[in-house]
Structure 1
Amino acid sequence: MDNHRVIYSEMNLAKNSKRQQRKSKDSKSSISETEQEITYVELNLQNAAEDLRGDDKSYQCKDLLFPPEKLTAGILGIICLVLIFKMVNPNSYDCGCCPEEWFTYSTNCYYISKEFKTWNESVMACASNNSNLLYIDNEEEMTFLDSLILQSWIGVFRNSSGHPWVALHGSTFELQIAETEYKYNCAMLHDGSLRSDGCESSKRYYCKHSFRSKAS
């Protein structure tokens, strides 16, 4: 009888041992599957992050290009700000002289910037001094101003290559502006002539305003 109990106990122990082994294998198998799932998720996240970075770069590259619609909207916004500024600050130079650091030519005052700015920034900088980004009235004025600095922005732009050049005050610009290979939409004074250039490039600029002489 005792021998039967011993044999029965040993069989139970063997069964329990096998069950534990099975459980151990099952748990290892489930751990392995979980690890595989985690690795899969990590790979997916990594791939998604790389895709986002790739998309970011493509968006950045796209943002570096300035479609005509964005350029036009930006320029029109700048012009509106300039007009509002002039309405709020309607001061004119009636003393027959120019402010300090400005110079006189004919009946106008001019300021040559020391810093380099984009076309839009130049427009705003001149507006803050109650003046306009340079508008050239004639070739004589252009020749004189060109002798002072090599290149500068002027207050002339166009919406796109298929549109006419216009001044900030809205009139069509009559002087010839040379085209460049890339058909830019902002105008500059360069080496005795006028030519187009990219509005986002940085250059020096002229500000200009007229004055009335003192009454004698």
Structure 2
Amino acid sequence: MYFRATLRKSECGAVSAQEVNGMSLGVRVAETSEIRQSADILMKASISWQPNNGTHNKSSLENFVSHLRKFMCKPRDSKITGNFSCRLCPQNWSLHENKCYWVSKERRTWHKGKEDCTAKLSHMVVIQNQEEVAFIQSITDGAQLLWIGLEATFPEKKWTWIDGSPLDDKLFQDLGPVETNCCGRLNGDQLISEVCSTIAAWICETKALLI
């Protein structure tokens, strides 16, 4: 199955003047802001923690993880007991499989959106399968034009995701000739080639934290 893709040749190649949470058994979403804030703290702590920080820090982090599991990791079947693991996302992010997604409310250029994702310790979304496209549609009502982590690279003249992987022509149809100053936008299930300095909302992704 292909998702539609279109190329706007008149816009690409020219600079625009416009400034322009889950485990297999399930997970219970905590409603209290305190628990959500704790999850944010844990996400940051897991990134900054290093093994040589000492056994005390490691023990404290493990205790904190165990505490969070009691509140956030619950099986769908209430008859099942035990200490279960689950995946967590930062506050206001949406969990799908092993990734967390955040959709902006602002509109910026592709490069500004990329910078914002980096500041959030994440990166622009890299779409890997049809299920991911469907999920993004579900959290954006399928109507919002979104910058994604796809750009035209030179001198290779290829469409490349920001993680270095090529655009899968089995997932999206060919966008056509690669032009300078072009980036990828998602409009529902349609992939659009657009001048990078156009303003639009954007979507970030980061790996969900397994606790």
Q: Could you say which TM-score interval applies, normalised by the shorter chain?
A: 0.5 to 0.7
1:47 alignment partner in structure 2: none
Name the aligned partner's letter for residue 153 of structure 1: W
- Greater C-alpha Rg: 1
Name the aligned partner's letter for residue 204 of structure 2: C
Q: How many residues align?
A: 130
Structure 1 unaligned spans of 5+: 1-64, 67-88
Which whole-Å deviations, capped at 9, do the CAs of 1:191-214 have from their partners, x for residues lacking one? 212121110001111110112422
1:143 alignment partner in structure 2: 134
TM-score by length of 1: 0.52
Task: Provide the C-alpha distance between the structure 1 equivalents of 2:129 and 2:198, rounded to a whole number of angstroms.
Answer: 25
What's the offset of the Cα at 1:132? 0.6
Whether the aligned pair in 2 keeps the contact of 1:146 and 1:189 (CA below 8 Å) is: no
Which whole-Å deviations, capped at 9, do the CAs of 1:122-143 have from their partners, x for residues lacking one? 1000000000111111111112
Identity %: 25
Q: Does 1:190 align with 2:187?
A: yes
Greater fraction helix: 1
Greater fraction strand: 2
| CA pair 180-209 structure 1, distance change in 2 beyond 3 A | same
Name the aligned partner's letter for residue 194 of structure 2: D
The two structures, once aligned, show a CA RMSD in angstroms of 3.3
What's the offset of the Cα at 1:97? 1.1
| CA pair 112-180 structure 1, distance change in 2 beyond 3 A | same
Which whole-Å deviations, capped at 9, do the CAs of 1:41-63 have from their partners, x for residues lacking one? xxxxxxxxxxxxxxxxxxxxxxx
What's the offset of the Cα at 1:182? 9.9
Task: Provide the C-alpha distance between the structure 1 equivalents of 2:207 and 2:107, rounded to a whole number of angstroms.
Answer: 24
Structure 2 unaligned spans of 5+: 1-13, 16-44, 50-60, 66-86
Task: Provide the C-alpha distance between the structure 1 equivalents of 2:139 and 2:210, rounded to a whole number of angstroms.
Answer: 25
Q: Does 1:91 align with 2:50?
A: no
